[in-house]
Amino acid sequence: MDHFQYRDGVLFAEDVNIPALAEQVGTPFYVYSTATLRRHFEVFAAPFKHMPHKVCFAVKSNSNLGVLKTLAEAGAGADVVSEGEIRRALAAGIAPSNIVFSGVGKTKDEMRFALKQKIFQFNVESEPELLALSEVAVEMGAEAAIAIRVNPDVDAKTNAKISTGKKENKFGIDINRAGELYAQAAILPGIRVQGVSMHIGSQLTSIEPFQQAFAKLRGLVEALRASGIAITTVDVGGGLGVPYEPDAQQPPSPEAYAKAVLDAVGDLGCTLLFEPGRLLVGNAGILVTKVIYVKPTETRTFVIADVAMNDLLRPSLYGAYHDIIPVVETSAPLQPIDVVGPVCETGDTFAEQRPLPLPKPDDLLAFRTAGAYGAVMSSTYNSRHLTPEVMVNGNAFSVIRARRTYDDLLALDSIPEWF
Ligand code: LLP
């Protein structure tokens, strides 16, 4: 359920008219819906209300301060993977006690910063990382609360590029070897073991991989407790998928996901931690673009839009599908169309031979389900601007990342002083 609906044939974001917004902001731009974000958070968190838990939003999926603030106000913490993300979470008012720090390559500087802020938990992913963290904590006279992220060797059955819970992936510690590392962590200075954690991949569309992984995690908690290590937090990661494509396998509902979590680890007496990203923001955002040209060739009809792979990388990088809809409904018949951008790469393609009503130059199109891993993965490739972002709330809107000037873009570089 989202709040991007047609009214009298014109697309609205909540009560904001998209063509009017495009007129003011210029295209392309992302739009996020406050009501959708709040609703998604509420639906996700509701089943866990009766027990201690933290829903730590995966900041990497959408790190705009406007989005973070909205989720923080709804009750979200943050799952972060860099000092930059910690700084964003803090700037949005997320308490350090609601921040978990994930990632395979935390540097000592980042550890120092996180320890200084007194974040809730480090999810440690390797022995060298554990030793580095101990060293930094001792040096600071601090104590790092940790979970070890285990790799349960479960096939998440998602795109290989975003699968993280198989033995051959770089993430986590082999669950069968985790006991040894926990034993080591338990006696290391500056380290306080508090939990277990996992994350097996993103955009999961079936419940079984979660169930398998959660069962293994439970086994680990029981084994650790039996060996005298107290475990008080269980972090089950993120990964629940969202519906992108009408004909594809649909992801499990948040209710089915919650049941799988509660069935497996709900009775351990632990604080449950979650790291959802896409589920909270995916359907809360669209990307609006304007058609520049329509170019019929012998074999194809290309619609060349003013949005490109630098604005939304997912189709080029993962072959990802995003629904593309006209902003003003039309009765034009459907025909096979290739929607492409202006960037000089054939991979700058959003849809091939997709049945769509043929638009005209200057018509607006919207890419749905663009709120997660959209703006955050944008770049200035081809010296294009970073895509602006707008947030709507009822009939109000706010530009939460403005389009920069070409002077700003050029000012990022400098010419060597020897010229
Ligand atoms: N926790 C950890 C440790 C993660 O690595 C991730 C995502 C999440 C949580 C959030 O997962 P989610 O709930 O959003 O599935 N750029 C890719 C997705 C990369 C996901 C990376 N890790 C895409 O556009 O599909």
Measured by CA distance, the residue closest to atom 23 of ligand 1 is 373
CA of 347 to the centre of ligand 1 (A): 23
β-bridge mates for residue 364, sequence order: 290
Residue ranges of domains in the chain, CATH in brackets: 4-31+282-410 (2.40.37.10), 34-279 (3.20.20.10)
- pLDDT (0 to 100) of residue 168: 80
Q: State the average pLDDT for the chain.
A: 97
Residue 317 CB less than 6 A away from ligand 1: no
Q: How confident is the model at residue 2 (pLDDT cuts 50, 70, 90)?
A: confident
Measured by CA distance, the residue closest to atom 8 of ligand 1 is 238
Convert the pLDDT of each residue in 80-114 to its tens digit: 999 999 999 999 999 999 999 999 999 999 999 99
Residue 378 CB less than 6 A away from ligand 1: no
Atom of ligand 1 nearest to the CA of 277: 14
Residue 61 CB less than 6 A away from ligand 1: yes
Measured by CA distance, the residue closest to atom 16 of ligand 1 is 373
Exposure string of 268-301, with b = 16+ CB inside 10 Å and e = fewer, is bebbbbbbbbbbbbbbbbbbbbbbbeeeeeeeeb
Pick the closest to residue 30 from 346, 314, 409 (CA basis).
Answer: 314
CA of 360 to the centre of ligand 1 (A): 36
- pLDDT (0 to 100) of residue 324: 98
Q: How confident is the model at residue 311 (pLDDT cuts 50, 70, 90)?
A: very high
Mean of pLDDT values over 154-166: 83
Convert the pLDDT of each residue in 376-413 to its tens digit: 999 999 999 999 999 999 999 999 999 999 999 999 99
> Residue 108 to residues 11, 82, 119, 197, 262: CA-CA distances in angstroms?
48, 11, 15, 21, 36
| HSE value, Cβ hemisphere, 13 Å, CA-based, for 274 | 28
- pLDDT (0 to 100) of residue 19: 98
Q: Which of 278, 317, 376 to mutate to test the pocket of ligand 1 (most atoms within 8 A of CB)?
A: 278
Mean of pLDDT values over 108-136: 98
Atom of ligand 1 nearest to the CA of 123: 3
Q: Before 28, cis peptide (omega within 30)?
A: yes
Residue 316 CB less than 6 A away from ligand 1: no
Residue 341 CB less than 6 A away from ligand 1: no
For residue 166, pLDDT over 90 is answered with no
Q: Give, to the nearest 10 degrees, the angle between helix 178-187 and helix 127-140.
A: 10
β-bridge mates for residue 273, sequence order: 54, 235
Residue 40 CB less than 6 A away from ligand 1: no
Higher pLDDT, 11 or 160: 11
Residue 237 CB less than 6 A away from ligand 1: yes
- Whether residue 61 contacts residue 17, with contact meaning beta carbons closer than 8 Å, is answered with no
Measured by CA distance, the residue closest to atom 7 of ligand 1 is 202
Residues that are catalytic: 344
Share of the chain above pLDDT 70, in %: 100
CA of 333 to the centre of ligand 1 (A): 37
Convert the pLDDT of each residue in 65-80 to its tens digit: 999 999 999 999 999 9
- pLDDT (0 to 100) of residue 340: 98
Query: Terminus-to-terminus CA distance in the chain, angstroms?
Result: 57
Q: How confident is the model at residue 1 (pLDDT cuts 50, 70, 90)?
A: low
CA of 216 to the centre of ligand 1 (A): 21
Task: Give the separation between CA 63 and CA 194, rounded to whole angstroms.
Answer: 27
For the chain, what is the HEC assignment? CCCEEEECCEEEECCEEHHHHHHHHCCCEEEEEHHHHHHHHHHHHHHHCCCCEEEEEEHHHCCCHHHHHHHHHHCCEEEECCHHHHHHHHHCCCCHHHEEECCCCCCHHHHHHHHHHCCCEEEECCHHHHHHHHHHHHHHCCCEEEEEEEECCCCCCCCHHHECCCCCCCCCEECCCHHHHHHHHHHCCCEEEEEEECCCECCECCCHHHHHHHHHHHHHHHHHHHCCCCCCEEECCCCECCCCCCCCCCCCCHHHHHHHHHHHHCCCCCEEEECCCHHHHHHHEEEEEEEEEEEECCCCEEEEECCCCCCCCHHHHHCCCCCEEECECCCCCEEEEEEECCCCCCCCEEEEEEEEECCCCCCEEEECCCCCCCHHHCCCHHHCCCCCEEEEECCEEEEEECCCCHHHHHHCCCCCCCC
Mean of pLDDT values over 206-219: 97
Atom of ligand 1 nearest to the CA of 238: 13
Share of the chain above pLDDT 90, in %: 95
CA of 357 to the centre of ligand 1 (A): 33
Residues 6+ apart with CB under 8 A from 290: 22, 27, 28, 305, 306, 362, 363, 364, 365
